[in-house]
Structure 1
Amino acid sequence: MGAVLVPYDPAWPDAFRRVAAELRTQGNPNWIVEHIGSTSIPGMSAKPIIDVAVLIADEEDLDRHLPALDTVGWRLGSGVRSHQVMVFEEDGVRTRIAHFFEASGWDEVNQRILRDWLLQNPEDAELYERAKHVAVDASRMGEESYNAGKTAVIQLLVDRARAARGLPAVSVYDKD
């Protein structure tokens, strides 16, 4: 089954708070956890998966807490190359994704930069939402994957957002 977008759910902010609390309880209580992804943008349709960015001191900080996170159902795994990712599934359906970033790169995390840009630029949020729907349709037709279908628009928006912050453009594609 391909990607499925659902209308914005006003329960997503509360779901995020529960995810953040769980990560801090099972992980490090000092972790900063932020809501990212489309579920963090009020009014935007999204895959019903809560994405979070977690600020960790370093890889050892995460490694120390992996057993406790694993105990409650979090699993390491993703095709992402630049940082560690854990996923959580309920009844075989992915419901949460945690992206772990070290402090040295926190201010340049594209997911955070894109979220902030979309919150501040409604026209670009609309552009992104349209691109997501086109990508879903293309993936259903077997033309390309959902992620591949929206990458060009994400690249455009992240480039704009990074330029506004005085940061250089970087590729947003980060998967094996």
Structure 2
Amino acid sequence: MPRQLVSYDPACPARFERIADELRTQGDPSWSVEHIGSTAVPGMRAKPIIDLAVRVADLDDFERHRPTLEKHGWSLGSGVRTHPVMVFEEDGIRTRIAHFFTAADWDTVNQRILRDWLLAHPDDADRYTHAKCDAVAAAARGRSSYNAAKTPVIQEIVDRAREAQGLPSVSVSDK
């Protein structure tokens, strides 16, 4: 299914802050919450969805707070296998995605590493934007899924970012 990419919205950082505050209120005030995904990179075209990385102590911490998050409209929903993911919809449209990572994994989370690299390397941010636009076109023609089409560029960029930090390469595909 093709995705809609929109121009960067300068309101995204404020939206993120509001959502992060809500998550801490609904979950645990001590959670670290960071803006990840393309809406966290000024100037980048993106799906109009705020992605968040939430640092939980461990999976039990997530499970303790999950019922309250669900009560406030969050639901489990993702093909991701490596960590819990909750989504939030408004009027039937997904507007935010929260990825929950344990404290033990926090420093090596690919989504955080990619975001930081793209913020520091505008040429790679531009390259990734082009890959996403190509992925939308490939998905529209039925040649590939959106995620599969952009994954090779993400993998190459994340590999370089991890190498720069002295970390080994790991697969970015978590579905």
Q: What TM-score, normalized by structure 2, do the two folds share? A: 0.98
Quote the sequence identity (%): 66
Which residue in the other structure is 2:137 paired with?
A: 137
Residue 174 of structure 1 and its aligned partner are, at CA, apart by: 0.6
Distance, in Å, in 2 between the alignment partners of 1:95 and 1:65 is 21
Match for 2:50: what amino acid?
I
Over 2 Å off, 4+ runs: none
Which residue in the other structure is 1:16 paired with?
A: 16
Write the deviation string for residues 129-174 of structure 1: whole angstroms up to 9, x where unpaired: 0000000111111111111110000000000000000000001011
Match for 1:61: what amino acid?
D
* Gap regions ≥5 residues in structure 1: none
Which residue in the other structure is 1:121 paired with?
A: 121
User: When the two structures are aligned, how many residues end up with a matched partner?
Assistant: 175
SS in 1 for 2:104: helix
Which residue in the other structure is 2:48 paired with?
A: 48
Which residue in the other structure is 2:166 paired with?
A: 166
Match for 2:73: what amino acid?
G
Q: How does 1:1-176 map to 2 (within 5 A)?
A: 2-175=2-175
Distance, in Å, in 2 between the alignment partners of 1:117 and 1:2 is 26
Please say which of residues 61-70 and 102-111 is displaced more in the overlay. Answer: 61-70
Residue 83 of structure 1 and its aligned partner are, at CA, apart by: 0.4
Residue 2 of structure 1 and its aligned partner are, at CA, apart by: 2.0
Distance, in Å, in 2 between the alignment partners of 1:142 and 1:90 is 28
* Gap regions ≥5 residues in structure 2: none
Q: What TM-score, normalized by structure 1, do the two folds share? A: 0.98
Write the deviation string for residues 14-71 of structure 1: whole angstroms up to 9, x where unpaired: 1100110010000000000000000000000100000000000011111111111111
